[in-house]
Amino acid sequence: MLRTTLSVFEAAIAAESAAATLCIAATIDVTAVAADLAESTE
């Protein structure tokens, strides 16, 4: 029983870190696009 609980917990942590990585990547993309736009409007 404890082993199953740990596996579920580990899966949740893995999913959360994957989501965080995607969010960070998206933020970097948005920042890059914003920087490009700022340069092109100058």
Give 1-42 as a 3 state SS string.
CHHHHHHHHHHHHHHHHHHHHHHHHHHHHHHHHHHHHHHHHC
- pTM of whole model > 0.75? no
Range of the domain at 24: 1-42
- Give the tens place of pLDDT for each residue, 4-39: 888 999 999 999 999 999 999 999 999 999 999 999
Count of domains observed in the chain: 1
Round to whole Å and give the CA distance between 42 and 30: 19
Q: How far is CA 19 from CA 16, 37, 40, in A?
A: 5, 27, 31
Round to whole Å and give the CA distance between 22 and 20: 5
